[in-house]
Chain A
Amino acid sequence: MEAAPLRFVQARGHEDPLTLLGELGQSRYLVWYLADLGAKSAVVEPNYFDRDYLSEFAAFYCTSSAGYSNCCERAHYFATDVDRELLERAAGGDSAAYGLLQDSYLGFVVKRPIPGTPLGRTVLRWYVDDTPQLPRVVDPSRDYAVHLAGIELNVRGLAWQQQDAGVGACATVALWSMLHSSAFDDRHVVPTTAEVTQTAHRAGLSAQPLYPSRGLSFGQLIASVRDSGFAPLVVAGEQEHSRFKREHFCPSLASFIRSGYPVLVAGDLEGGNGLHAVCAVGFRQAASLDVAAGNVELEDTRTEYLYLHDDNLGPAARFRVEVDPGSEQVFLKTAPPAKRHSLELVDPTEGYPRFIPTALLAAAHNDVRITPDRLHSLALNLGTMIVSATGNAIGLTASSRIARLSNYLGQELSRVFSGNSALLARTRLALVETVAPMSLHLGVVRIGTGHAPLLDVLYDTTDSVPNMRAFCYVAYHPNMAHVVQQLIAFKLVSLGVEVAGF
């Protein structure tokens, strides 16, 4: 292999590696996505050893008579014109040049030397969020540090790649994306696609050959998560053919993602495409609306848009959650946001078939043993009790997440008590000093009226369902505390210690 200089090319120009891939669907999607991000140029590393591809090469491609190379190409995209002079200045320590590169850095695409499935590990920045009051929830995203000629550049996203159909199928790459989650930053080495496939085939779990990979069963996916050192949390559709109603699907998915866990969504891709798997990496937060008196609503039921890493399309493809009017079952339909560029490009998601989810799988920390199903069941029951105790005078909203104890005490309470530092301090100290030691991760059920929180119940995540208990509840208003006290006096619930957040 010979040394080769970096190449400085125009985005979408004839030397752009994505342009060179021609009409490949995923390549067209990436061109569109980068155009929306305002990509102007790319710096191409002609020789790049990619950890995932090396693993695929060692597992499969090295024995092919095609004589594949073990070396990839990596293209870095920028929202400014980057030329050799700018890069030289940054490489020489010029802080202004470095700042310009970092501010305009959009992410990277690895191109494998596999002609049929060239798109390897890809991390691109998210679009700007235009409605932060109802944010795009992308908690699983993480920071990736990349090095270009000794210059460290950072991009926040979650890795995507095209299935190669040799080492990995769609389920493999969806699982691989999941295990990149920010939630596991502190104690985990991300497995390669080859390792994911090998783990799934351990101990006679499949009668299929290991390579070329023809897909994994859902049972194999669960085993692969477990054997990778995580707790597999499954939520299955409750309708005929394991399909979902909206009230089950949206809150479950939102709860996982809000907890920092990307979700493998398995389901039927219509049009004779069979079973498919994608990785949900974000959703657009639904607005709270005033709920009619006497009712309890799971707030996330209104979730309208999801962002999916679909290996057929590309990273963070926006889908709309729709409901079949007859069966009331959920299906997902591509619904890209209005384009931000003025180029004449064909919408790469046009004509993509409907996707009907049947099961969700998340990889959680090993000590987490409860699913959003359990939290939502508790939320519905408790909300109904509260509403009923008031003589159906109010309507309530409810939502859930799994949170690390330190994050709940830190960021979450800080947000809830925004502008009231005395109350924030008192509540934090009460949680530490008056509640028995809590688990590392908490199941948080939040109940409110409209958009305003009234009550958090903090559940132990480390026990079995029959033994599951609440450590405490934080009431944000004295009236709510009185209602809960009445339920406890009636012996209808056990919610642990009361913490007054008012």
Chain B
Amino acid sequence: MEHFGRLLPSWSYIVRYMEDMTEPRITPGQSCLWTTPATVSALPLDRVKVDPNVSAEQIRRAVAQLGERAKAFEGKISEEVLRASVR
């Protein structure tokens, strides 16, 4: 590519343009976890770090506090549903 760049002044522009095209441009609120590349730049990841003051017990308590919210996913099916006739 560099070789062509010396021959054709516009080539370097094309190369830069193509590199720009491969850089993901994602607008928050218009994308999701399954369509966004993990390589998206400018993520606020400085806050994703271990807080040395948090203990294992505190984390366990946080999970326990999910309570009713977690129970929704226990997957129990009632007799009422099993016997209901679907027409």
In the complex, whether B30 has a CB less than 8 A from a CB of chain A is yes
Of the candidate stretches A74-82, A269-277, A340-348, the one touching chain B is: A269-277
Chain B residue at smallest Cβ distance from A215: B87
Q: State A454–B45 Cα separation when bound (angstroms).
A: 10
- B49 near A451: Cβ-Cβ < 8 Å: no
| B81 close to A (CB within 8 Å) | yes
Residues of A within 8 A of B (CB): 133-135, 169-171, 208, 214-219, 221-222, 234-238, 241-242, 245, 247-248, 258, 266, 274-277, 285-290, 293, 299, 358-359, 371, 373-374, 376-377, 380-381, 384-385, 387-391, 393-394, 397-399, 401, 415-420, 423, 446, 448-454, 476-477, 479-480, 482-483, 486-487, 490-492, 501-502
| Distance of A258 Cα from B22 Cα, bound (Å) | 26
Q: Which of A134, A235, A483, A492 contacts B32 (CB 8 A)?
A: A134
Of B34, B38, B82, which one neighbours A219 at CB under 8 angstroms?
B82
Residue B8, interface by CB 8 Å: no
Chain B 45-84, CB-CB to A under 8 Å as 1, else 0, gives: 1111111011010111011001001111111111011111
Q: Which residues of chain A have C-beta atoms less than 8 A from B36's C-beta? A: 288, 448, 451-453
Interface contacts (Cβ under 8 Å), in number, total 223
Closest chain B residue to A175, Cβ basis: B86
Residues A248 and B84 in contact in the complex (CB < 8 Å), given A419-B24, A453-B36: no
Contacts of A169 in B (CB 8 A): 86-87
User: Is the beta-carbon distance between B59 and A388 smaller than 8 angstroms?
Assistant: yes
Tell me, yes or no, whether B40 is within 8 Å of chain A by CB: yes
Closest Cβ of chain B to A11, distance in Å, is 33
Whether the Cβ atoms of B49 and A482 lie closer than 8 Å is yes
Top 4 closest pairs, chain A to chain B, by CB: A391-B51, A215-B87, A476-B38, A490-B56
- The interface residues of chain A lying within 8 Å CB-to-CB of B43 are 449, 452, 477
Which chain A residue lies CB-closest to B41? A452
Residue B5 lies at the interface, judged by CB distance under 8 Å to chain A: no
- Other than the given A133-B31, A217-B83, A480-B45, 13 more pairs (CB < 8 A) read A236-B81, A275-B86, A287-B30, A299-B33, A387-B62, A390-B54, A416-B38, A418-B39, A419-B24, A446-B34, A490-B56, A490-B59, A492-B59
B84 near A389 with CB under 8 A, answer no
B14 contacts the other chain (CB 8 A): no
